[in-house]
Amino acid sequence: MGITQWIANTAVAFIAATSYPGIFLLMVLESMVFPVPSEAVMPFAGFQIVNWQTTHTGPHFTFIGVIIVSTLGSIVGSLISYAMGFYGGKPFILRFGKYLLLDSHDLEITERFFAKRGELTIFISRFIPIIRHLISIPAGLGKMNIWKFILYTILGAGMWNAFLTFVGIKLKENWTEVMKYSHTIDIVVVAVLGLAFLYYAYKVYINLTKKNTVS
């Protein structure tokens, strides 16, 4: 079994075991500063939709159900980050963010992105890696209207979650064809995982260095 097949089987098994609460929790984390990419969650929820449609075993997953639950998770996670910025302010974020691998440089880029493009950034950012994990914090810092924040979050996150779920459904329906190129895909997956590991290791190193310098 190749690494791509193993990852797919493991992710689908986890989602099947945890059902909708698992998707909800993962998307809460994804919408905060935790390194849980939606690209590693929602497509496999699409896999599980196809599995149920073909076998009628396990949790009953539907496209609408997955989108509703995942988007609710996105809203909750985004509201938590919004509250961190709204009530804690930037000093709180900079002090405690390092424990969540929150890079101050990434936050500054996101703040500038938010300031330049305004409230619609909340919608646009849902389609942009890294920024979508952090954008709710500048919204809180800027005291953005909470109802507009929720509306743009629902629209952006809902569309993104629906797109990834649809991609997962199509991948599962054509999984036999996809696996014909499994060796090449495995190489790409290993490369991506390696780069992600190096990136987060670098962030941990930078945060520890800053902490030692301050001490």
Contact 167, 46 (CB under 8 A): yes
pLDDT tens digits, 112-130: 777 777 778 888 888 887 7
Query: How far lies 17's CA from each of 87, 165, 206, in Å?
Result: 36, 18, 37
pLDDT at 155: 94
Checking if the pLDDT of 214 tops 60, the result is no
Q: How far apart are CA 31 and CA 38, in angstroms?
A: 9
Q: Is 40 helix (H, G, I), strand (E, B) or coil?
A: helix
pTM here is 0.76
Q: How far apart are CA 108 and CA 154, in angstroms?
A: 24
Q: How far apart are CA 212 and CA 43, in angstroms?
A: 40
Q: Count structural domains, the chain.
A: 1
Checking if the pLDDT of 215 tops 60, the result is no
**Higher-confidence position of 173 and 177:** 173
pLDDT tens digits, 130-162: 778 778 888 888 888 899 999 999 999 999 999
pLDDT tens digits, 5-56: 666 777 888 888 899 999 999 999 888 877 677 887 888 888 889 888 888 8
In eight-state DSSP terms, residue 102 is -
Is residue 182 very low, low, confident or very high in pLDDT (cuts 50, 70, 90)? low
Residue 55 structural domain: 3-214
For residue 71, how many other CB atoms are within 10 A of its CB?
23
pLDDT tens digits, 67-106: 999 999 999 999 998 998 888 766 766 666 665 556 666 6
Report the Cα–Cα distance between both ends of the chain, in Å, rounded: 48
Is residue 58 very low, low, confident or very high in pLDDT (cuts 50, 70, 90)? confident
